[in-house]
Structure 1
Amino acid sequence: MDKQRTTLGVLTLLPLAAACGTQTAGNGPARAETAPLTGVHWTVDSLTTDGKTARAPSGAYLRIGADGRVSGDLGCNGFGSKAVLTGDRVEFGEIRTTDMACEKGPMSFERSLGRVLADEGAFTARTDGGGLTLTAADGDRIGLTREDDAPLLGTKWTVTALGDENVSRPLPKGADAYFVLREDGTFEGRLGCNHASGRATVSDGHITLGRVRTTRMMCQDSLMKTEKTLLGLFDSKVAYRLDHRGIALTSENGTVVGAVADE
């Protein structure tokens, strides 16, 4: 699915118009009895409103954290919210989205899904194997499927962006950067230009990277600049955060590396 940004730079979270007049959910943590719903990447499969079912565009999903924080994608734009979970009931607070324009189909689905999440009040949650159905009081419902996170070890993680906690920029054209963490405590990959390898130890949400060995090729300036940034991660400890098929590495000096799992 093609997404076209309407503005450059960091996307600002904006209140969804459909959320006006709705009550923001409380800030309390998710209840223990709804734990199976939390910490899971739920891919949105379909939305049924007024008896008509629409298939979701690729990439639509939601994830509810153990603290009730909600993140996801409505079909075009990313969104955030807060959820209160009580028994088999789920209620979403104000929906806040990024501000991108997409093709007509995804945008239409996004508007419908955003309205349902914001306006329907509490949903009844029903799980069946790897599926989840959220049903509103008026019968509108959202069909979702559980998707497991990509494993940290053995996955080829392709680097897509560099930045810090405030700004994320895509890699320059032609940059080939990826890494694979092995179960034997080693890593291999490429830094934008040169191949790299070394030691990597995973523990308690961190990866300790040893000294790096690289090939000695020279590439264009933009690729070498990317490589220099990535070299700064080595011989140090970086924090990592997995989110379905994505990973973020944060260095001790605040550099953030975004990567996605290869299919």
Structure 2
Amino acid sequence: MPKPRSTLAAAVLLAVLTPLTACGQEEGAGSGGAGDPDLPLTGTHWTVAAVTVDGSRAQAPDGAAVDFAEDGRAQGSTGCNRFGAGVAVDGATVTVTQEEVTERGCPDDRQRFETAFLAAFTGPLKGTLEDGVLTLASPDGGKKVELTAEPSAPLRGTTWKVDGLVSLDTAASLPAGAEDKARLVIGADGKVTGNLGCNNFSATAKIDEKARTLTVEGPAATTRMMCGSPQMTLETKLYELLDGPLSYRLEHRTLTLTDGAGEGLTARAEQAQ
């Protein structure tokens, strides 16, 4: 018995549309229907190059950096204070939630940059990555953070410039007038040399990389120069700190040394000349 025309027409129409529908589904899957791949940020380290806010672009000071950890967080330095933030990556969108910032006082130019950086490095940001340069911009383009890829600094052989003091969870800047000289280098043989803020010093240290400890063996030998009060205050603090076992934390290009009471220093890797 022949099928009614309406039933036959529906069957023909279904036969025609089925392959077209399947074709359309395949095309959607191959053209980004499942979303763009996430930006590969996990475990990467970046130097902050510049920040733009409301059309005003500011170059970053030395030491400004961002590290993207494996636990969905970012941490780093504004060039003044340390910060921590939550990060969620969805395709090219990087959503940053600022969570904590230390409260170290810094020179006015660094404070201004910090304010601009924290304003720009927050909320949903569109990320573009090209030739080792990562740009994160707000949806309206009014805020932008420019980052450049940078390798981590090794513990040994790096010149570490002391840039702050720590006491438990509190960070503080160096005494005014003592910001430029203090630095240290840890040699392959365990010898530690540098400057304590006024005098040059040398010492021998035992380093346990598994336990992340550095223990100076015996008092450090120093030169005998006399300096101003800020430099001598810093020197006394650092000399006392080096007289005992220290724990160290190495985060990309930042080194933190602390004693058992949580007193210590932070230092950043100097750029190779």
| Matches for 1:15-164 after TM superposition, within 5 Å | 36-45=41-50, 47=52, 54-59=56-61, 61-72=65-76, 79-94=83-98, 102=108, 107=112, 110-111=115-116, 114-119=118-123, 121=124, 123-138=125-140, 142-164=145-167
1:198 maps onto 2:201 in alignment = no
1:257 aligns with 2:265: yes
Q: Which structure has greater strand proportion?
A: 1
CA distance in 1, matches of 2:233, 2:114: 40
Larger Rg: 2
Query: Which is worse superposed, 189-198 or 222-231?
Result: 222-231
* CA displacement, residues 48-96 of structure 1 (integer Å, 9 cap, x when unaligned): 87xx6x5432235433333233345668876543212245432112476
Cα 1:177–1:202 change in 2 (3 A) is farther
- Kindly tell me: are residues 116 and 243 of structure 1, through their superposed partners in 2, closer, same or farther at Cα, counting changes over 3 Å? same
Aligned counterparts of 1:109 and 1:228: Cα–Cα separation in 2: 30
Evaluate the alpha carbon distance shift between residue 80 and residue 217 of structure 1 in structure 2; reply closer, same or farther with a 3 A threshold: same
- Aligned match for 1:237, one of 229, 235, 245: 245
Q: Take 2:190 and 2:132, find their aligned partners in 1: how far apart are those partners?
A: 33
Give secondary structure in 1 for the equivalent of 2:41.
Answer: helix
Partner in structure 2 of residue 248 of structure 1: 256
CA distance 1:45–1:177, shift in 2 (3 Å): closer
Contact conserved, 1:132 with 1:145, CA < 8 A, in 2?
A: yes
Provide structure 1 residue ranges, at least 5 long, that are not aligned to the other structure: 1-32
Match of 1:17 in 2: none
Aligned 8 A contact 2:58 2:113 in 1: no
Deviation at 1:101, TM superposition (A): 8.2
1:210/1:234 contact within 8 Å kept = no
Matching residue of 1:209? 216
Q: How far apart in 2 are the matches of 1:78 and 1:167?
A: 8
Deviation at 1:36, TM superposition (A): 3.4
For 1:131 and 1:61, the matched residues in 2 are separated by 13
Amino acid at match of 2:183: Y
Question: Partners in 1 of 2:111 and 2:82 — Cα distance?
Answer: 12
Deviates further, 203-212 or 230-239: 230-239
Match of 1:185 among 149, 169, 190: 190
Alpha-carbon RMSD = 4.0
Task: Work out the percentage of aligned pairs sharing the same amino acid.
Answer: 25
Q: Deviations over 1:114-157 (max 9, x none)?
A: 555445x3x34332231113355555654321123333211222
The structure-2 alpha-carbon separation of the partners of 1:91 and 1:164, relative to structure 1 and needing over 3 Å to count, comes to same
SS in structure 2 at match of 1:63: strand
Q: How many residues align?
A: 224
Higher helix share: 2
Q: Which structure is higher in RCO with an 8 Å CA cutoff and minimum separation 6?
A: 1
Contact map agreement 2:76 2:83 (CA 8 A) in 1: yes
Query: Structure 2 regions of 5+ residues with no counterpart?
Result: 1-37
| CA distance in structure 1 between the aligned counterparts of 2:97 and 2:204, rounded to whole angstroms | 46
Alignment-derived partner of residue 12 in structure 2: none
